[in-house]
Amino acid sequence: MAELVRLAIVGSGPAGLSAAGRAAALGLSHVLLEKSDHLSDTISKYQKGKHVMATPSQLLLRSDQAFAVGKREDILQTWTDRTTALAVNVKYNAEVKSIRGTGPAIPGSIQKIVTRARDGSSTMTEVQRFAPPYAIELSSGETIMAESVILAIGTQGNPNLVRCPGSDLPHVTYQLDDPYAVLDEHIIVIGTGDAGIENARGLAEDPAQRNMVTVLNRAAKSTNVRESFATAKEPNALALVADHDAGKLTIRYETETKAVEPGWITLATRDGEEKIRCDRIIARIGSAPPRGFVEACGIEFSSSDRLAFPVLSPVFESSAPGIFVIGALAGYPLIKHCLNQGYDVVEFINGNTALKPADEPLLEAKFRDLPGKRSVDEWLEMLRSSIAILEAMSPLQMREFMLDSVVRSCSKGEVIFERYDSGSSLFAIAEGSVHVLTDPGDATKVVPIGKGSIFGEVGLISGRRRGATVVAAEDAICVEISRTAALKLQSQVPAARKAIELISIERQLLQIFSSGLTSADVAELVASARVENKVAGEVVLAEGEEGRDIYIVRRGSMIVERLIGGRPVFLSYLPAGSYVGEMALIDGGPRSATVRAAIKSEVVRLPGDAFARLLQRRPELLAKARSDMAARHDVNMFIESRKESFSSAVDMYSQTAQFLVDNGIGEATDVLLIDEKLCIGCDNCEKACADSHDGLSRLDREAGKSYAHLHVPTSCRHCEHPLCMSDCPPNAIKRGDDGEVFIDESCIGCGNCQRNCPYGVIRMDSEPPKKPSLLSWMLFGAGPGPGEAPKTWRKKNASGGEPPKKAIKCDMCSGIDGGPACVRACPTGAAIRVSPEAFMSVAHMESDN
């Protein structure tokens, strides 16, 4: 039996280092296990010289480790020095294979692990938990015994491995630090995602390196790179294909590895096996999230959702007693949080129960100005117990949740938000009640919402502007839950997700038909409603089919088409919040047009029979539905009437609409388009953009797709559900008052948003030096003139080195009087900003002709 330590810490990232440092400072017996041969592997893989930020700035650092803003190398050096000084017992090259309890079986403590296969089937395994001490088995075969384990392994996971004979040879690698240091080698790159493409192109970029680079692609060759390189971004894939065409590197399609031996690789191709030279293999085939390993340790996750985190007690203890989870794996991706938690968790394990979390002052500040003198813990408890969707949260989850949320005290009559305000946050009522003004013209038509319930969920789900004004009906206390916090809440607390879904369906029904319906009227519909996911292009209703169900577009958007003369003709574009399918129900007969998803969407499907019964009970609703339908009959008539005389115009319009949908306009809220019948290519839009925003342009006019002289430049579409927001560690990307998606000053420059944006509109750059004034340029030629300064000028005039790179993107010139500079500065009127529903309507086609 190996020696028993008090604490084993797995992972030497910021969280693990801080925990080990605290354990060493307290004199606890401990071991820090690191799978690589150096500390902080994830951060050491950041690019060379990367500027690491220390957000949130208002949070105090509480750790034996030091941390301040600085270069990657300096920070790692400080940590290494500090770890040595604290005499931390580090064990390198110690990859943990399993952690199991060696004490008696814990009665009734059984974990159920559900694994889903690709084909949709799932299997469940049950794991009996055993009490500590834990046996930690390393891949070297060694076993370490520990009373408690702190898991601080982050979320990077382990890279997927090549599986074939010889794949354990040392020249089979999974990363590439510096492509320019590799010379004169035969290199095989496996994996055609962005990482693999980037490595392959880097290795082949300079012919002087004399590398022979081969990229293996399992997919077949296709003229459409979206098919042949499904996991890569289109520009990257196109660049790789161009390199192949230029003879810089070779892409082999329909090829996989069969066997590896020193100096050679055997490939399985469509035409049989082939053996070629190979000095190095770089496999970039994704990584497996650490969830499987964590679950096998007996740690339960809050839900099966991909975004879910482990269930933890207020002292970070998981459902396996004696195993603690901190850092990114616990849901805290920022370095400062990690360092603080490392300190806190060791203090807790050491019996310091009086320690207040480091975020206490932040929460105190949030509650300070509210009526009623309550402590932070009392506030958290009061909110949790009075708001239905928060009920299932643990105190630790509540703390984190409140850091991303705002508590507002509203006096009677105060407007909480107005109709057409943009906002994607969710509100919950902790005290008092509010009124929703359903009719903008008549302030007496209100729907009350009481204590414990929520409102504003339409903005959260559809990403569109607020549908109605909400005012406080009496003095009230509301929690405004940011979009990020709301999404986290839904993935962590399944009950909250269900509750939000039901309420949102009911509200959507009431809002759409808005003819004095009550909850009781729609109860039957809500109960039988189903939420269905539709992928882009999926048909929801097919023209000519029988069917009576009604669909509400809950998220995403739809396009409506009809076959006229054998060709699909675009009729209209339906944003979230629209409903379809009632024509067949009311008029009878088959579906009169095809409705398909423009982008990935969610629809609520309501059974036609239940809806028909509702129409029978409420004749005024039938009247409203009929008047809505009349407008659409007109559109159909218009298209029918034009089909002879204007068939080519209609055709053209359909194709233009399809082009716009293909280019992401379907999920846009506001997009810059350029009418190339007017654009003289002066780039004054780019110059104006740069001069309105710190000297950097946020749009590339010339790049991007065009169709029929309509050009979609590389510029932000301000998506309904921005992908850039999905993985921003400091939550720096927000939606502003005018619907703009912007990045605030807390950006840490990690580049996640740039990688996540499917339209390539985010760039990473540092703020250039200030230019001389326009007049001194015009009169004396001082400085580089209007627009973005060239790199050379910026380098020459940078005082004290280049500032750190941050993410920059279009913010629709928010806060600048007069609106978007690109449009104001266009001399010919070619640049226009539009919202999709306004642009893609038949009315617009009519005005064009």
Partner 1 sequence: MASTPHAGMRADHKAVADHDGFLRHARFRWIKVALVVCLIALIGYFAADVKPRPYGGSWYGYTLGTAGVLLIFWLALLGIRKRAMTAGRWSLKAWTSAHVYLGLALVVIATLHTGFQFGWNVHTLAYALMMLVIASGIYGAAVYAVLPSTLSSNREQLTLSQMVEGIRAIDRQLHEAAQPLTHSYTEVVLAASEESPFATSLWSRLSGKYPHCATARALTAFQNVASSPDTGPAFATVETLLIRRKAQLDRLRRQTRLKALLEIWLYLHIPGTIALIAALTAHIVSVFYYW
654 to 693, contacts with partner 1 by CB under 8 A?
670, 675-681, 684, 687-688, 691-692
Distance between CA atoms of residues 331 and 154, nearest Å: 9
| Beta carbon nearer to partner 1, 298 or 467 | 467
- Gap between the Cα atoms of 111 and 319, Å rounded: 9
The answer to whether residue 623 forms part of the interface with partner 1 (CB under 8 A) is no
Residue 832: how many CB atoms within 10 A of its CB? 17
Question: Rounded to an integer, what distance in angstroms lies between the CA atom of residue 576 and that of residue 460?
Answer: 12
- Looking only at the bridges linking them, the beta strands covering 122-130 and 806-808 are unpaired
Strand partners for 146:
5, 134
**243-262: which residues touch partner 1 (CB under 8 A)?**
245-248
Nearest approach, Cβ of residue 245 and partner 1 (Å): 7
| Identity of the residue, 370 or 703, whose beta carbon is nearer to partner 1 in the bound complex | 703
> In the complex, what is the shortest distance from the CB of residue 675 to partner 1, in angstroms, rounded to a whole number?
7
Distance CA 743, CA 749 (A): 11
Interaction of residue 328 with partner 1, rule CB under 8 A: no
810: number of Cβ within 10 Å = 25
Site stretch for partner 1 (CB under 8 A), options 57-65, 335-343, 569-577, 789-797: 569-577
Query: What residues numbered 698-737 form the site for partner 1, per CB under 8 A?
Result: 702-706, 709, 711
| In the complex, least distance from residue 714 CB atom to partner 1, rounded to whole angstroms | 10
Angle CA 32–37–43, to nearest 5: 80
**Contact pattern for partner 1 over residues 629 through 648, marking x by CB under 8 A:** --xx----------------
**What token pair was written down for 172?**
């089979």
* Cβ atoms 249, 204 nearer than 8 A: yes
Q: Which two tokens stand for residue 628?
A: 């809505």
Q: Rounded distance, CA 82 to CA 671, Å? A: 50
Judged by beta carbon, residue 221 or residue 633, the one nearer partner 1 is: 633
Among 316, 343, 579, 759, binds partner 1 (CB under 8 A): 579
Nearer to partner 1, 493 or 688 (CB): 688
Specify whether the CB–CB gap between 603 and 552 falls below 8 A: yes
Name the minimum Å distance from CB 646 to partner 1: 19
**Is the bond preceding residue 803 a cis peptide, omega within 30 degrees?**
no
Give the relative orientation of helices 360-367 and 395-403 as an angle to the nearest 10 degrees: 70
Verify binding: residue 316, partner 1, rule CB under 8 A. Answer: no
Smallest gap from Cβ 580 to partner 1, in A, equals 4
* Rounded-to-integer distance, Cα 643 and Cα 419, Å: 39
Q: Does 571 bind partner 1 (CB under 8 A)?
A: yes
Q: How far is the CB of 848 from partner 1 (least distance, A)?
A: 8
- Opening angle at CA 825, ends 819 and 831, nearest 5: 85
**Contact (Cβ atoms closer than 8 angstroms) between residue 25 and residue 86:** yes
The token pair that represents 737 in the structure block: 């008052």
Number of residues that bind partner 1 (CB under 8 A): 77
Give the shortest CB-516-to-partner 1 separation in angstroms: 18
What is the footprint of partner 1 within residues 768-797 (CB under 8 A)? 774, 778, 785-786
Q: Which of residues 829-848 bind partner 1 (CB under 8 A)?
A: 829-830, 832-835, 837-839, 844, 847
* Residues between 486 and 545 with contacts to partner 1, criterion CB under 8 A: 511-512, 541
463 binds partner 1 (CB under 8 A): no
The answer to whether 228 and 314 are in contact (CB under 8 A) is no
- Could you say whether residue 66 binds partner 1 (CB under 8 A)? no
Binding region for partner 1 (CB under 8 A) out of 160-168, 242-250, 266-274, 647-655 = 242-250
Q: Is 592 in the site for partner 1 (CB under 8 A)?
A: yes
CB of 123 to partner 1, least distance (A): 42
Which of 127, 65, 71 minimizes the C-alpha distance to 99? 127
Of residues 413 through 452, those in contact with partner 1 by CB under 8 A are: 420
**CB of residue 800 to partner 1, shortest distance in Å:** 27
Query: Dmax of the chain from CA atoms?
Result: 90
